[in-house]
Amino acid sequence: MNIVIFGATSAIAQAWAQNNAHGNSVYLIARSENKLSQVAADLQVRGATVYSQTLDMAQAQDYRAVVDAVYQALGQVDIALFAQGSLPDQRELEKNQELVPEMMQLNTMSYLLPASLIGERMAVNGAGTLVLISSVAGDIGRQSNYFYGASKACVSTFAHGLRNHLFKFGVHVLTVKPGFVDSPMTAHLPNRTGPLWAKPEKIAADIDRAISKKKNQLYTPWFWQIILGVIRCVPEAIFKRLSL
């Protein structure tokens, strides 16, 4: 299988890539050369043929050139995984608006642009899977993280439309919506234990299953679907008074 991973040094991407290394060709894209080379070495030992490219997706990029390079190396793409992102502090973003465009570049633009390009090329082949890691935070706007939530809501809606568009070409789009994940992204949050917190390995295993079952949307772990279902039922007149 030929795989491209955007944000290959993220915790979920690493866990997923470790499961999907053996016998596959993998193209890794991330910002840090040092970290990327460590991930590449790991996947190589696990039996993958590895290509890698450093790219700072928090800055605007020409994704046409990036996607060209991916196809040049791999020939074709069977799975494209998008795992890059950052979770800046909500109050910080309110105070320093300059941080917002960078977050939007990383969390949203670097998903939409290359996913659209790769989707088109997969359509030509009549096969392929795009996996976009969004978040439960994109389902509803919460006073505690609505800038981040907005960036993810954009990804979710985009993926929804892309899924619709690519279905007739035999290309599948999976939207992954994790809840709380114990990873470097959330390392600044206190007490990352308890039943609501999942490990990256768990998310990765759920993604594997969802890909093989051709699921459209994956809440991981499963109970987030229920939690969000309940929250969505709360009338706005009440919700706006809460401190979620």
Partner 1 sequence: MTRYSAWGRYLHADSEQVALAWQSDISFEEKLYLARGLGRSYGDSCLINQGAMIEMAALNRFIAFDRKTGVLRAEAGVSLADILTISVPAGWFLPVTPGTKFVTLGGACANDVHGKNHLQDGSFGCHVKSLGLARSTGEVLELSREQQPDLFAATIGGLGLTGVILWVEIQLTPIESAYVDDASKQCHNLAELLASFDEARATHQHRVAWLDCNAKDAAIGRSIFSAANYASLGSLANLQTAPLSVPFSPPISPLNKITVTAFNWLYFRKLRAAEKQSLQHYNQFFYPLDNIFHWNKIYGRRGFLQYQCVISDDVPQGLFKLLKRISDSGQASFLSVLKELGDSNSPGLLSFPKAGYTLALDFPNKGRDTLNLLNDLDAITREHAGRVYPAKDARMSKEMFYAGYGDKLEQFNQYRDPAFSSDFWRRVTT
Could you list the residues that contact partner 1 (CB under 8 A)? Answer: 11, 14, 18, 34-35, 38-39, 41-42, 45-47, 182-184, 187, 191-193, 199-200
CA separation for the pair 211, 174 (Å, rounded): 7
Q: Are 60 and 48 in contact (CB under 8 A)?
A: no
CA separation for the pair 35, 8 (Å, rounded): 9
* Cβ 84 to partner 1 shortest distance, Å: 15
Nearer to partner 1, 142 or 199 (CB): 199
Nearer to partner 1, 8 or 115 (CB): 8
Nearer to partner 1, 34 or 97 (CB): 34
Nearer to partner 1, 41 or 244 (CB): 41
* Cβ 45 to partner 1 shortest distance, Å: 4
CA separation for the pair 98, 79 (Å, rounded): 34
* Cβ 148 to partner 1 shortest distance, Å: 20
Output the CA angle 230-160-98, nearest 5 degrees: 85
Could you tell me which of 14, 35, 40, 38 has the C-alpha nearest to residue 25?
Answer: 40
Strand partners, 150: none
Instruction: Count how many Cα atoms sit within 13 Å of the Cα of residue 72 in the half-sphere of its side chain.
Output: 9
Output the CA angle 12-18-21, nearest 5 degrees: 130
Note the helical H segments in the chain: 11-19, 33-45, 63-74, 90-95, 99-104, 110-125, 146-167, 200-212, 223-233, 236-239
* Cβ 127 to partner 1 shortest distance, Å: 28
* Cβ 188 to partner 1 shortest distance, Å: 11
* Cβ 199 to partner 1 shortest distance, Å: 8
Nearer to partner 1, 191 or 243 (CB): 191
Nearer to partner 1, 42 or 102 (CB): 42
